[in-house]
């Protein structure tokens, strides 16, 4: 049962966010804020703003590397991004996506990949996509003391299986399977689950059924927290506009405008001026 706001907010009192803190936030009914980051400078800003969780998402494959899907990004690429992020973070919990092909179907490889992430980046947890089909991998990773975040609903690493990015689990059968998978991930020992692009009502039901925190993206307002891809919410990416995305800025135009001003100043000899030289 949720105990609403007895005393000070948890997020205001903690100096370091851990998986236990997220659990306590769920218990207290305090929403969890999560964003993606892929580099040191941005991670520092997010951490200073007191974001609870930073996800080094394999969405780096799209927004950092320019691929159409999340499939091409490698474990080495993810480790590079994650180690950079961790160097910029003091407070937030840093979670790293296990990229496609590093955990499915082979639990030993899942463990080796996760150990590399933990050793080489200093992150605190890994995330992987899927339910019952990846339980063996999750068990093995957990056996090494590595916290695991699950990811259900729209799972972009399986895009070639589904063929589209439409809302998932709209039919009863898929919704039932998703609920079963969420229960299974909780029972297996995941500390939290991301639910992506599913009906708000189903997300609410899952949130009320399992005890671990549920973080939604396109899953309505009733989950325990929300996550967005930073480049999308800051308006750096322009072409991606799903209904669930709220843009908090139009950095694409701001950056472009600043760069155009710079180019103009260089071309017209306005930069550098007398004070900007030695």
**E runs forming strands in 205-251:** 214-217, 225-228
Give me the least distance between CB of 176 and ligand KIV, in Å please: 23
Examine the residue annotation and report whether 196 is marked as an active-site residue of this protein: yes
219 phi and psi angles, rounded to 5 deg? -130, 20
Give me the least distance between CB of 223 and ligand KIV, in Å please: 12
Helix axis angle, 75-87 to 40-48, nearest 10°: 50
55 phi and psi angles, rounded to 5 deg? -100, 120
Query: What is the pattern of x (binds ligand KIV, CB under 6 A) and - over residues 4-33?
Result: ------------------------------
Choice between 149 and 202, CB closer to ligand KIV: 149
Give the H or E element holding residue 193. strand 192-196
Contact 177, 131 (CB under 8 A): yes
Q: With CB under 6 A as the rule, give the number of residues binding ligand KIV.
A: 10
Pairing verdict, β 53-56 and 148-153: unpaired
- What are the Cα distances from residue 135, in Å, to 110, 184, 199, 205, 226? 11, 8, 24, 22, 24
Of residues 123, 219, 227, 234, which one binds ligand KIV by CB under 6 A? Answer: 227
Of residues 92, 229, 233, 234, which one binds ligand KIV by CB under 6 A? Answer: 229
Give the integer Cα–Cα distance in Å for 33 and 31.
7
Q: 50-109: which residues touch ligand KIV (CB under 6 A)? A: 55, 57-59, 97
Choice between 3 and 164, CB closer to ligand KIV: 164
Of residues 22, 30, 33, 36, which one binds ligand KIV by CB under 6 A? Answer: 36
Give me the least distance between CB of 36 and ligand KIV, in Å please: 4
Non-local CB neighbours of 158 within 8 Å, separated by 6+ positions: 129, 130
Q: Which of 30, 139, 196, 276 is catalytic?
A: 196
Give me the least distance between CB of 181 and ligand KIV, in Å please: 16
Give me the least distance between CB of 250 and ligand KIV, in Å please: 20
How many CA atoms does the CB half-sphere of 136 hold within 13 Å? Answer: 8
Query: What is the pattern of x (binds ligand KIV, CB under 6 A) and - over residues 133-162?
Result: ------------------------------
Give the integer Cα–Cα distance in Å for 31 and 212.
13
Query: What is the pattern of x (binds ligand KIV, CB under 6 A) and - over residues 194-223?
Result: x----------------------x------
Give the residue from 116, 50, 108, 111 showing the smallest Cα distance to 82: 116
Q: Which residues are catalytic?
A: 196
Give the residues lining the site for ligand KIV (CB under 6 A). Answer: 36, 55, 57-59, 97, 194, 217, 227, 229
């Amino acid at each position: 049962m949720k105990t609403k706001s007895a005393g000070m907010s948890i997020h205001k009192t903690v100096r370091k966010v851990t998986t236990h803190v997220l659990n306590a936030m769920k218990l207290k009914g305090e929403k969890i804020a999560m964003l993606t980051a892929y580099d040191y400078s941005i991670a520092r800003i997010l951490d200073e703003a007191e974001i609870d969780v930073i996800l080094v998402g394999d969405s780096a494959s799209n927004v950092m590397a320019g691929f159409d899907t999340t499939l091409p990004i490698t474990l080495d690429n993810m480790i590079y991004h994650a180690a950079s992020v961790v160097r910029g973070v003091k407070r937030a919990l840093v979670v790293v996506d296990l990229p496609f092909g590093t955990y499915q179907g082979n639990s030993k490889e899942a463990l080796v990949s996760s150990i590399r992430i933990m050793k080489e980046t200093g992150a605190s947890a890994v995330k992987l996509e899927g339910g019952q089909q990846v339980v063996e991998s999750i068990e093995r990773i957990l056996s090494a003391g590595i916290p695991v975040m699950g990811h259900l609903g729209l799972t972009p690493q399986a895009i070639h299986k589904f063929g589209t990015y439409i809302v998932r689990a709209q039919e009863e059968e898929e919704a039932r399977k998703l609920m079963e998978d969420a229960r299974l991930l909780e029972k297996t020992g995941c500390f939290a689950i991301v639910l992506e692009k599913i009906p708000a009502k189903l997300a609410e039901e899952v949130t009320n059924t399992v005890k671990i925190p549920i973080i939604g993206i396109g899953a309505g307002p009733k989950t325990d927290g929300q996550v967005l891809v930073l480049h999308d919410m800051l308006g750096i990416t322009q072409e991606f506009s799903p209904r669930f995305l709220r843009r908090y800025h139009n950095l694409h135009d701001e950056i472009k405008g600043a760069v155009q001003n710079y180019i103009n100043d260089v071309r017209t000899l306005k930069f550098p001026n007398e004070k900007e030289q030695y």
